Amino acid sequence: QVQLQQSGPGLVKPSQTLSLTCAISGDSVSSNSVTWNWVRQSPSRGLEWLGSTYYWSKWYNDYAESVKGRITINPDTSRNHFSLQLNSVTPDDTAMYYCVRYQHSPRYFDYWGQGTLVTVSS
Amino acid sequence: DIVMTQSPLSLPVTPGEPASISCRSSQSLLHSNGYNFLHWYLQKPGQSPQLLIYLGSNRASGVPDRFSGSGSGTDFTLEISRVEAEDVGVYYCMHALQVPVTFGQGTRLEIK
């Protein structure tokens, strides 16, 4: 059974960096049949995919255009986890953030973390 | 990006009665391999979303058979044959045809 355990601060100041980590159990961050994703949810944006990291002979990333240039998703093979960094945050980045596993076939999100509510406020 | 549009956004239902949710996409989700890359998720109160239906019409593991999905191309439907109290929450459709995946706005099902 795959489990995703999120950690990270729930309050970030404007212009600073949001950092979250997702610890994986029951699978490997280096697995080549899945991708590891961050999805956020807010009343204004609904459910929004932010980006992914995955290993297919080498490491790749995909990022949503809405956050490209501010986002980094990194795998950590030694700890079997992956992380999200979102720079220069504004109150519009306030949301529930989820880490999620995506099965490449048949292309769906199957395991979700418990969610972390991140508020951007001074 | 593909735009996903759900209706209705709010759905009050009497227990034991059927319910139906529509999802439309701005472009066809039918892949050349014959699959429709459209999935349904349910987010129960205070929980993360959970997979209900994948590839348009396949129930995920453990999903009761009162849930069914249908449709192809740009028009899809989620049906619940007899709503139970445990079905309350927000239902989302999501396409997985290309990057980025996108979600519908959600349909909130409540018990009358």
pLDDT in tens, A65-80: 999 999 999 999 999 9
pLDDT digit string, tens, across residues B19-51: 999 999 999 999 999 999 999 999 999 999 999
Parallel/antiparallel/unpaired status of strands A95-103 and A116-120: antiparallel
In eight-state DSSP terms, residue A105 is T
Average of per-residue pLDDT across B77-105: 97
Please give the mean pLDDT across all residues of chain A.
Answer: 97
DSSP symbols for B26-85: SS--B-TTS-B-EEEEEE-TTS--EEEEETTTEEPTT--TTEEEEEETTEEEEEESS--G
Chain B residues within an 8 Å CB radius of A107: 37, 96
User: Does the beta-carbon distance from A49 to B39 stay under 8 Å?
Assistant: no
Kindly indicate the confidence band of residue A106, based on its pLDDT and cuts at 50, 70 and 90.
confident
Does B63 contact chain A (CB < 8 Å)? no
- The secondary element (H helix, E strand) that includes residue A100 is strand A95-103
Judged by DSSP in three states, A2 sits in coil
DSSP A16-81: S-EEEEEEEESS-TT-TTEEEEEEEEETTTEEEEEEEEEESSSEEEEE-TTTTTTEEEEEETTTTE
Distance from CA of A90 to the nearest CA of B (A): 23
Q: Least CB-CB distance to B101: which of A49, A106, A112?
A: A49
Compute the Cα dihedral for A8, A9, A10, A12 and give only its sign. negative
- Partners of A48 on chain B (C-beta within 8 Å) are 103
Instruction: Give residue A87's pLDDT.
Output: 97
Residues of B in contact with A2 (CB under 8 A): none
Is B102's Cβ below 8 Å from some Cβ in A?
Answer: yes
User: Under an 8 A CB cutoff, do B48 and A106 touch?
Assistant: no
Counting Cα atoms < 13 Å in the Cβ hemisphere of B11 gives 25
pLDDT value, residue B42:
98
> Searching chain A, which residue's CA lies closest to the CA of residue B61?
A110
pLDDT digits over A1-36, tens only?
Answer: 999 999 999 999 999 999 999 999 999 999 999 999
d(CA B88, CA B70): 21
Query: Is the preceding omega at residue A106 within 30 degrees of 0, hence cis?
Result: yes
Q: How far is A112 from chain B (nearest CA, A)?
A: 6
Whether the bond between A91 and the residue before it is cis, its omega within 30 degrees of 0, is no
Shortest alpha-carbon distance between residue A63 and chain B (Å): 8
- What is the predicted pLDDT for the residue at A105? 85
Answer yes or no: do B100 and A65 touch at CB < 8 A: yes
